[in-house]
């Protein structure tokens, strides 16, 4: 499960479609490759770069920071030319433009959606990687087609790692992570301007992420009988919990999320039990820990392996964990420091270093070194 959000492909806005006419690409001079460039990384159209920052965007940022030239293809196509959003990272707005952009070799094709295998034929990469994010049953047929064609598979959870190991000889476990600095300094973050009118003496239980079929409505309703519940994220399902103590704030920019987390007392991952959630390693888990605030989750395996997260295996247990966490939210300074220490050890840079070393191993093997 992606990251802070389960099932990346599920969260993408519907494609706008390719423009009927496409002007020839005039590559800006800033796209000229530096002489000491390492390799070119291409991320095919799956999710817009500016939409709900998730694992793909974080990892492409890391590739760029390490000096590799990254072309990130948006799924929503426009006539805009490629745009450099940070040094070495270019957002490409039309898939056809990728063929007119300069490359250095080797070319690495990084895919997170099982139905991206046609890009192997389109790009002819030197190294192809499939980053397995979720366990959607509907992805399985395409996974059987893409796995024999890639050089490396990365998996976000132990469940996915073992599943991929049965189908590919080179698989590494690369869990999700967080931007620790962004989420750990809440004291200096201003309050959000659209925070609901909640009495100051009411404890607030929060959730940040997409609102879909993986959320347990029974748990949320039970919490709302006792506390205020604030949900931040796009609503992607049909079910809406109508309750005077449940506040839906909708999707907010990634950069603004710390402001909302600042106002919450306890942070939650109230997922239903399903094959999807049992395979997920939520990004939000690490971002929550970075705040130092108490975290309560249902019994997903990746949360159970972290002793600092309170786990409720039933709705009653979950509510009991929330009660205990409310009591710790203010006074438990030592617990806050321990949670932040765990988050600090789970950075995107460390995850990238695992990936970098694995790609280099593939490269040496292909070069016969």
Mean pLDDT by 10 residues, the chain (369 residues): 36 33 38 62 96 95 96 94 96 95 93 95 96 92 96 98 97 98 94 94 96 94 97 85 93 96 97 96 98 97 97 96 88 86 97 97 88
pLDDT of residue 26: 38
Give the sheet arrangement for strand 83-86, strand by strand.
83-86, 89-92, 69-73, 40-43, 107-111, 127-132, 152-155, 171-173
- The secondary structure of residue 149, as a DSSP letter, is G
pLDDT of residue 35: 44
Instruction: Tell the CATH superfamily of the 180-344 domain.
Output: Glycogen Phosphorylase B; (3.40.50.2000)
pLDDT of residue 330: 67
Contacts of 194 (CB under 8 A, 6+ apart): 249
pLDDT of residue 32: 52
How many beta carbons lie within 10 A of that of residue 215, not counting itself?
Answer: 26
And the tokens for 330?
Answer: 């203010």
pLDDT of residue 6: 32
What values do phi and psi take at 132, rounded to 5? -85, 115
From the DSSP assignment, how many helices (H) and strands (E) are in the chain? 13, 14
Instruction: Report the C-alpha gap between 363 and 365 in whole angstroms.
Output: 5
What values do phi and psi take at 53, rounded to 5? -55, 120
What values do phi and psi take at 75, rounded to 5? -85, -30
pLDDT of residue 240: 80
pTM assigned to the model: 0.89
**Strands 40-43, 127-132: parallel, antiparallel or unpaired by DSSP?**
unpaired
Considering the segment(s) 8-176+347-367 as one domain, its CATH architecture is 3-Layer(aba) Sandwich (3.40)
From residue 239, alpha-carbon distances to 42, 96, 218, 249 in Å are 37, 39, 11, 16
From residue 158, alpha-carbon distances to 165, 266, 365 in Å are 10, 27, 26
Domain ranges in the chain are: 8-176+347-367, 180-344
> Are the folds of 8-176+347-367 and 180-344 the same?
yes
């Amino acid at each position: 499960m992606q990251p802070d959000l389960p099932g990346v492909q599920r969260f993408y806005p519907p494609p706008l479609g390719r423009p009927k006419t496409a002007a020839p690409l005039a590559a800006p001079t800033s796209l000229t490759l530096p002489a000491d460039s390492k390799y070119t990384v291409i991320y095919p159209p799956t999710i817009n770069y500016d939409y709900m920052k998730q694992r793909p965007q974080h990892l492409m940022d890391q590739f760029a920071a390490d000096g590799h030239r990254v072309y990130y293809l948006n799924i929503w196509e426009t006539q805009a030319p490629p745009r450099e959003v940070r040094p070495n990272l270019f957002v490409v707005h039309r898939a056809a433009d990728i063929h007119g952009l300069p490359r250095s070799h080797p070319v690495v094709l990084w895919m997170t959606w099982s139905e991206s295998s046609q890009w192997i034929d389109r790009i002819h990469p030197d190294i192809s990687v499939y980053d397995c994010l979720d366990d959607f049953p509907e992805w399985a047929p395409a996974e059987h087609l893409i796995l024999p064609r890639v050089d490396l598979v990365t998996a976000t959870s132990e469940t996915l790692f073992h599943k991929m190991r049965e189908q590919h000889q080179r698989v590494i476990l690369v869990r999700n992570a967080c931007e620790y600095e962004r989420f750990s300094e809440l004291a200096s973050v201003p309050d959000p301007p659209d925070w609901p009118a909640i009495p100051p003496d009411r404890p607030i239980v929060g959730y940040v992420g997409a609102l879909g079929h993986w959320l347990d409505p029974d748990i949320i309703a039970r919490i709302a009988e006792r506390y205020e519940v604030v949900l931040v994220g796009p609503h992607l399902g049909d079910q809406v919990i109508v309750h005077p103590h449940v506040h839906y704030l909708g999707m907010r920019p990634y950069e603004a999320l710390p402001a909302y987390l600042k106002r919450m007392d306890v942070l939650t991952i109230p997922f239903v039990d399903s094959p999807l959630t049992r395979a997920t390693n939520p990004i939000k888990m690490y971002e929550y820990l970075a705040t130092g605030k108490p975290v309560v989750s249902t019994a997903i395996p990746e949360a159970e392996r972290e002793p600092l997260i309170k786990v409720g295996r039933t709705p009653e247990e979950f509510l009991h964990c929330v009660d205990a966490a409310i009591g710790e939210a203010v006074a438990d300074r030592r617990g806050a420091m321990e949670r932040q220490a765990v988050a600090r050890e789970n950075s995107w840079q460390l995850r990238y270093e695992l990936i970098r070393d694995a790609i280099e191993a593939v490269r040496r093997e292909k070069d016969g070194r």
